[in-house]
Structure 1
Amino acid sequence: MEKYFYILLFAVQFSFSQNTDHLPTVLKQLKLKESQIRIELFTEKVLPYDKSKSVLVIPKYASDIEEGSFVLDAYILIIDNATGKIISKFIEPNAWTSDALILTDITIDTGLYHLNKTTRAFGIRTDYRTQSQPNPYSETNLSLYIVEKNTLKPVLQNFRIYKYGGEWDMKCDGKFEDIDSTIDIDKLQNKNFNNLIIKTKITKTENILKDEDCISKETIKKETVKLIFNGKEYK
């Protein structure tokens, strides 16, 4: 029993030793200061299909913060985990704006985006929401990136994969719409890249107060569309 305890302890310690924060090393290479980035939105993730590398997303302030609103430049990087050296990067000025629609989270999506036999993309998801209670709204956008000749290239930009919104009296009466999309990879190709199959579920809910009971009526609709690669990006 004691033997297995020490094996488990070593495994945990080894796991923690791999979760290295590469931010200081990367910022030095980019000649940026930590004060120049929105630190709570910074994210880093090891590539599951190439664990010697990580993806980093550095949201750099593009302008001064004004009454809670700000604009961010997107620094999307792939680095070597052993050295922290930047291998490839993509920089998009004024990529994200947080204002009435608040940017709440940025996450790295390492799903199975196999665009052809040799190309696997990774995604960046951005989550937004409003603070309105009578008119709630939130959305998630997805961008996909591939490595091409040691540079990062966006092939899908800010595609909305989730949206929720509605209006109600904050008691019962109201209407809501939930739009949730998933991406499947098609076997058919265009310009040597597989088509993307977008499957969307649209749920509409109407609440009505009747005899002091809040009655909900729900309708569901499903749609399927394809995004085709035009040689530069998916449309």
Structure 2
Amino acid sequence: MIFNHPLLTGLAASGLLLLASQSHAQCQEPPLPPGTLGYTACKDWPAQAGVQIRALATAPDNVTGEAQAGLFDLLVTLVDAGSQQVKASYTQTQAISSDAVAFDGLSVDTARYQVGEGVRAFGIRSHFSHESMYNPFASENLSLFVVQGQALRPLLSDLNVYQYGGESEGRCQGQFSTRKRTLAMATTRSHGFADLIVKTSVVKRQATQRGDQCLEKNSPPQVSQVTLRYDGQRYVVPQGLRDE
């Protein structure tokens, strides 16, 4: 997950060099250092023409080659697509933890997160999974960033926006739950930034084996809503809206 530690000079220097070395205007995922376990993502930013958002997560201390082992450092940059110059960056050591539930990828979210007048955020989504026939699990967290000079500042860290899990006997019979969250900008503001409306929908599914058929029944969605307010530094995510 993303924590507020000091910038790592070495990671920033090597990572920025790697990210800036791309020679094509087409958005390309930044390269991983040789022999390093990690994940990359890249996407053009509609809010700023000719600007690309690139993300790089690496586990430099991982010696097993297994995704579920280690802590991942995170580097996020805005890059000029033409000159390939880095316009702004954010780096964090040990930003993402990968253990029994393995961290298995990043993606860039360019939805219209208009958090303030003339201020638009973008998102980095981290993906996790546990591949099991009997206890399947998948999860996705969202963090939001804004540009502040030549730096990227995290506004929202690790809001859990998707979670799926359950217990199964392996072929059919079991109980499962899917939770999805959406984020919307409210008309009200706190400390100059829009309040965030987080809507949660939970659907439970029962699978039953009857003869040769696997019958599934979904419960009606359980919907709830909570408002997150900017405290002058960031949107604080309560424990109930994080991974469980």
TM class by shorter chain equals: 0.7 to 0.9
Report if aligned partners of 1:102, 1:130 keep a CA contact under 8 Å in 2.
yes
Q: Give the C-alpha shift of residue 49 in structure 1.
A: 1.7
3-state SS of the aligned residue for 2:116? coil
Query: 5 Å matches for 1:87-98?
Result: 87-98=87-98
Amino acid at match of 2:77: L
Q: Give the C-alpha shift of residue 20 in structure 1.
A: 5.4
CA distance in 2, matches of 1:202, 1:105: 24
Greater RCO, CA 8 A, separation 6+: 2
RMSD (Å) for aligned C-alpha atoms: 2.0
3-state SS of the aligned residue for 1:42? strand
Structure 1 pair 193–103 and aligned structure 2 pair: CA distance change class (3 A): same
3-state SS of the aligned residue for 2:34? helix
Query: 5 Å matches for 1:192-207?
Result: 192-207=192-207
**Counterpart check, 1:150 vs 2:150:** yes
TM-score normalized by structure 1?
Answer: 0.82
How many corresponding residue pairs?
210
TM-score normalized by structure 2?
Answer: 0.79
Q: Give the C-alpha shift of residue 208 in structure 1.
A: 2.7
Amino acid at match of 1:107: S
For residue 174 of structure 1, what is the aligned residue in structure 2? Answer: 174
For residue 124 of structure 2, what is the aligned residue in structure 1? Answer: 124
Q: Give the C-alpha shift of residue 174 in structure 1.
A: 1.1
Amino acid at match of 2:114: H
Report if aligned partners of 1:120, 1:146 keep a CA contact under 8 Å in 2.
yes
CA distance in 2, matches of 1:58, 1:148: 20
Report if aligned partners of 1:37, 1:58 keep a CA contact under 8 Å in 2.
no
CA distance in 2, matches of 1:116, 1:103: 32
Report if aligned partners of 2:27, 2:43 keep a CA contact under 8 Å in 1.
no
CA distance in 2, matches of 1:23, 1:74: 12
CA distance in 1, matches of 2:50, 2:181: 31
**Counterpart check, 1:49 vs 2:56:** no
Structure 1 pair 74–36 and aligned structure 2 pair: CA distance change class (3 A): farther
**Counterpart check, 1:19 vs 2:18:** no
Structure 1 pair 37–45 and aligned structure 2 pair: CA distance change class (3 A): farther
Structure 1 pair 54–36 and aligned structure 2 pair: CA distance change class (3 A): farther
Q: Give the C-alpha shift of residue 215 in structure 1.
A: 3.4
Query: Gaps (5+ residues) in structure 1?
Result: 1-16, 25-32
Structure 1 pair 218–174 and aligned structure 2 pair: CA distance change class (3 A): same
**Counterpart check, 1:225 vs 2:226:** yes
For residue 4 of structure 1, what is the aligned residue in structure 2? Answer: none
Q: Give the C-alpha shift of residue 44 in structure 1.
A: 1.5
3-state SS of the aligned residue for 1:172? coil
Q: Which has the larger radius of gyration?
A: 1
Q: Give the C-alpha shift of residue 107 in structure 1.
A: 0.4
Structure 1 pair 23–127 and aligned structure 2 pair: CA distance change class (3 A): closer
- Fraction of identical pairs, as percent: 24
**Counterpart check, 1:65 vs 2:63:** yes
Q: Give the C-alpha shift of residue 210 in structure 1.
A: 4.2
CA distance in 2, matches of 1:207, 1:126: 29
Q: Give the C-alpha shift of residue 201 in structure 1.
A: 1.1
CA distance in 2, matches of 1:22, 1:63: 22
Amino acid at match of 2:90: F
CA distance in 2, matches of 1:50, 1:21: 17
Report if aligned partners of 1:74, 1:95 keep a CA contact under 8 Å in 2.
yes
Q: Give the C-alpha shift of residue 195 in structure 1.
A: 0.7
